[in-house]
Structure 1
Amino acid sequence: MILHNDDFNGFLFVAESIVKVFGYEPEKAIKLMLRAHETGRSCVWSGMREHAELKADQLRSCGGDPEQAHQNALPLRVTTEPMPA
């Protein structure tokens, strides 16, 4: 599952959402968030497609960053993609 960078959601909100959905330690969530910020995308989870789609839905359901509501923050942008061979 790929987390894509966006211009609306703040670092803290993204990292907290990753911790909430995946149960990762905050340090790991911050690394994943920064990778998405710096490169445009970050693989935050891999596994069975059905489970990846569930996790993607859960991450999207965190909504947009309430601190960025004035910028019309959208839910986190995530996609599921096949693993490279």
Structure 2
Amino acid sequence: MFLRDPVLACKCIFGPCTPYQFRLEGPGRWKGARAAIMTQWDRTLQPLKTRPLGAEVEVKGSSLGFLKFLVAFVGLFVLLLSFCMQ
């Protein structure tokens, strides 16, 4: 398979294991197996795209607030840890 179709071979080896791979060769061979393997990620991700986000979407909140919370949490953790080690 590496010599005939290297792209398909890489998708079969490094991609997810699917039943279509069994239909590439043998008595139950299916002509559409290659196309199904090549487009399996498109068909997997399509249901997750329920609504397109426009350019007007803005992020609410601030990463600075999260950073302050994180520093306070780590500070309290270090303080508590040093208190318990005494």
- TM-score between both structures, scaled by the size of structure 1: 0.24
- TM-score between both structures, scaled by the size of structure 2: 0.24
Would you tell me which structure has more helix in proportion to its own residues? Answer: 2
Instruction: With a CA cutoff of 8 Å and minimum separation of 6, indicate the structure with the bigger relative contact order.
Output: 1
